[in-house]
């Protein structure tokens, strides 16, 4: 049998292609794409189908760090000093309480089940961290806006900063108690503070370079500047052994406060972020260690349960104490469940410093990440829907085409490209609207909002006729306009189809010649036109699609040729 070794280029193509299909499936199942990408990685990785060679996974290391760096830069760009002051006024106390409750609950929960004190304390510190890439990219995917979204970004930044500092101090304390500290404590603390200061200084310098360069260069060269700065800075951080996550967060904050083109810079970098995030989560999925999760046993289960409880309870207590809204109290905590990057990196550092203790930490963290990374995005999506901070277009699945329809459209465009086009006069006079009619009952004007959403999800049109009790068309709902509506359950319970409808601009009759529809579509942006009976009360018969009219035009010309 011929053996075939998968090339690294083929591995990249395979991951991207399978993730593309998984993203489409995620839309159908109403899942965050991040979860789909992680599951793809888990499926093709060594713990399932074992399609991806293990050696290839390690080669993606720089790409994964690059993706994390870009996400943290984007997060930092959200924090102007004015915004930080406003958010900090109501979130700083919430963050402090959440950090304290999470660390305490995990530590004492593990101690109650017989875990060693040093391991329990360090796991309590690591429990503070929240995966920035997972959390922020889910928020960006759903284009969410509101107090929960805004507070989540702030708490994610605070969690990771606090985790790095608290874990390093706790690790030094554990080594001091165990007599394993080779260097004086004061010197170790000084090194930690020096690393943090150096990390922030590098971030500020890089942010100033980006702000200055983007103000000086043409926009077409910005992406080169951003990639050059990011990759160079990442290499410097790795060479010096300082926390690169803090560096890129500070870099983003610097750009946010020194450039008047911050929004345009983030938009330009988004072209790269999308591709990197697909690779990040698919490769990350291949690294999810299912056997480690099973091997973690009772300690791993207690860690997972206590951390989830600590995040939610800490935010609830903090938000209640500071008078936050009920949406923030109930749902902000569940946006912080994801965990990966910082916790894994710190446990790896611990394993290098103290192999015996560090390996035990790694086993628990790598095992629990399987749970947190899969359920985290699901809880974020649910929180965004419940709080009404996600636009309708992101909350429902709607497509204006089918696989067969797209195949037909592809053929039509190919014929047109060959120059075999025609004019509306080629539509024979005996071809009528009735021949192109697609039947639909329309949406009753009294239909509640949920029924409207259900109709949209099961339709491949972008225009939906609204009818009264006599089946007469009283208006149309246009999806492009409706998609900007916020999905706020407190409001949508009162909304009916007639509240969302706009005036009908054109109508057709079944006996109209098809050429009439062609002429109307030349001046219409809608993808379909309602067809009604000529006699009162002008009942809705169905709709005619633009694509069907154009296909009939091309097919008629083919037969004539």
- Do β-strands 473-478 and 463-467 pair in parallel, antiparallel, or remain unpaired? antiparallel
Name the token pair of 341: 């990057």
Helix (H, G, I), strand (E, B) or coil at 458: coil
Name the token pair of 213: 């360069």
pLDDT of residue 141: 80
How many angstroms separate the Cα of 473 from the Cα of each of 277, 499, 523, 525, 553? 45, 14, 21, 19, 28
Neighbouring CB atoms inside 10 A of 316's CB total: 21
- ∠ CA 54-235-241, nearest 5°, is 90
Helix (H, G, I), strand (E, B) or coil at 473: strand
Sign of CA dihedral 526, 531, 532, 534: positive
* Euclidean distance between CA atoms 165 and 103, whole angstroms: 13
What distance lies between CA 185 and its chain's CA centroid?
A: 42
pLDDT of residue 319: 93
User: Which residues 6+ apart lie within 8 Å of 241 measured at CB?
Assistant: 195
SS3 for 106-160 is: HHHHHHHCCCCHHHHHHHHHHCCCCCHHHHHHHHHHCCCCCHHHHHHHHHHHHHH
Select from 496, 444, 436, 492 the least CA-distant residue to 465. Answer: 444
Select from 260, 246, 271, 272 the least CA-distant residue to 211. Answer: 260
Name the token pair of 432: 């009528």
- How would you write the pLDDT of the chain (561 residues) with one tens digit per residue? 334 567 888 888 888 888 888 887 887 777 788 888 888 888 888 777 878 877 787 788 888 888 888 888 988 888 888 888 888 888 999 999 999 999 999 999 999 998 899 999 999 999 999 988 888 888 888 878 888 998 998 999 899 889 888 988 888 888 888 777 776 777 777 888 888 899 999 999 999 999 999 989 988 899 899 999 999 999 999 888 887 888 998 999 999 999 888 888 888 888 788 888 888 888 878 877 777 777 778 888 999 999 999 999 999 999 999 988 898 999 999 999 998 777 887 887 888 888 888 888 888 887 888 888 888 888 998 888 888 777 665 666 656 556 666 676 676 666 666 655 544 444 445 788 888 888 888 889 888 887 887 787 777 778 889 998 888 888 888 876 665 565 555 556 677 888 888 888 788 888 888 888 888 888 877 888 899 988 888 889 888 888 888 777 766 655 555
Select from 530, 77, 528 the least CA-distant residue to 273. Answer: 77
Helix axes 244-258, 222-240, angle to 10 degrees: 140
How many angstroms separate the Cα of 415 from the Cα of each of 41, 259, 428, 519, 558? 40, 49, 19, 21, 9
Helix (H, G, I), strand (E, B) or coil at 391: strand
pLDDT of residue 415: 65
Rg of the chain on CA atoms, in Å: 28
- ∠ CA 205-206-210, nearest 5°, is 120
Domains of the chain: 61-280+289-390 (1.20.1530.20), 403-560 (3.10.580.10)
- ∠ CA 549-424-524, nearest 5°, is 55
Q: What is the pTM of this model?
A: 0.73
């Amino acid at each position: 049998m011929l053996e075939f070794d998968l090339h690294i280029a083929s591995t990249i193509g395979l991951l991207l292609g399978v993730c593309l299909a998984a993203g489409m499936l995620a839309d159908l199942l109403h899942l965050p794409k991040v979860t789909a990408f992680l599951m793809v990685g888990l499926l093709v990785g060594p713990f399932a189908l074992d399609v991806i060679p293990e050696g290839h996974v390690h080669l993606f290391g720089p790409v994964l760090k690059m993706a994390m760096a870009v996400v943290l830069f984007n997060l930092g760009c959200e924090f102007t000093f004015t915004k930080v002051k406003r958010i900090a006024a109501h979130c700083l106390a919430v963050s402090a309480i959440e950090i304290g409750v999470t660390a305490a609950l995990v530590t004492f929960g593990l101690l109650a089940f017989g875990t060693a004190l040093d391991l329990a304390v360090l796991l309590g510190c690591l429990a503070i961290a929240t995966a920035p890439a997972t959390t922020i990219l889910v928020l960006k995917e759903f284009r969410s806006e509101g107090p929960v979204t805004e507070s989540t970004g702030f708490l994610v930044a605070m969690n990771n900063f606090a985790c790095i500092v608290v874990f390093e101090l706790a690790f030094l304390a554990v080594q001091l108690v165990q007599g394993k500290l080779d260097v004086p404590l004061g010197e170790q603390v000084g090194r930690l503070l020096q690393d943090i200061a150096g990390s922030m200084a590098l971030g500020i310098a890089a942010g100033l370079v980006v702000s200055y360069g983007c103000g000086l260069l043409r926009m077409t060269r910005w992406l080169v500047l951003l990639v050059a700065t990011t990759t160079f800075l990442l290499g410097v951080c790795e060479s010096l052994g300082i926390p690169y996550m803090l560096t890129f967060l500070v870099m983003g904050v610097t750009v946010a406060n020194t450039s008047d083109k911050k929004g345009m810079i983030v938009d330009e970098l988004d072209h790269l972020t999308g591709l990197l995030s697909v690779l990040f989560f698919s490769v990350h999925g291949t690294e999810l260690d299912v056997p480690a999760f099973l091997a973690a046993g009772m300690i791993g289960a207690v860690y997972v349960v206590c951390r989830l409880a600590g995040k939610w309870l800490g935010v609830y207590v903090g938000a209640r104490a500071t008078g936050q809204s009920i949406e923030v109290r109930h749902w902000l905590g569940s946006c912080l469940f994801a965990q990966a990057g910082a916790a894994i990196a710190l446990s790896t550092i611990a394993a290098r410093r103290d192999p015996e203790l560090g390996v035990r930490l790694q086993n628990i963290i790598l095992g629990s990440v399987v749970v947190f990374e899969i359920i985290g995005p699901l809880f974020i999506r649910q929180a965004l829907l419940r709080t009404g901070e996600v636009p309708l277009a992101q909350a429902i699945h709607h497509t204006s085409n089918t696989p067969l329809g797209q195949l037909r459209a592809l053929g039509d465009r190919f014929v047109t490209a060959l120059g075999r086009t025609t004019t509306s006069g080629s539509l024979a006079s005996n071809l009528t609207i009735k021949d192109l009619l697609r039947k639909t009952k329309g949406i009753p004007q009294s239909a509640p909002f949920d029924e409207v959403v259900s109709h949209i999800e099961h339709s491949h049109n972008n225009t939906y006729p609204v009818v009264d009790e006599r089946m007469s068309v009283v208006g149309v709902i246009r999806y492009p306009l409706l998609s900007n509506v916020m999905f706020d359950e407190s409001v949508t319970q009162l909304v009916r189809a007639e509240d969302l409808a706009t005036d009908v601009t054109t109508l057709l009759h079944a006996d109209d010649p098809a050429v009439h529809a062609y002429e109307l579509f030349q001046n219409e942006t809608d993808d379909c036109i309602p067809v009604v009976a000529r006699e009162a009360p002008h009942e809705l018969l169905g709709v005619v699609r633009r694509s069907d009219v154009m296909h009939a035009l091309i097919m008629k010309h083919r037969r004539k040729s």
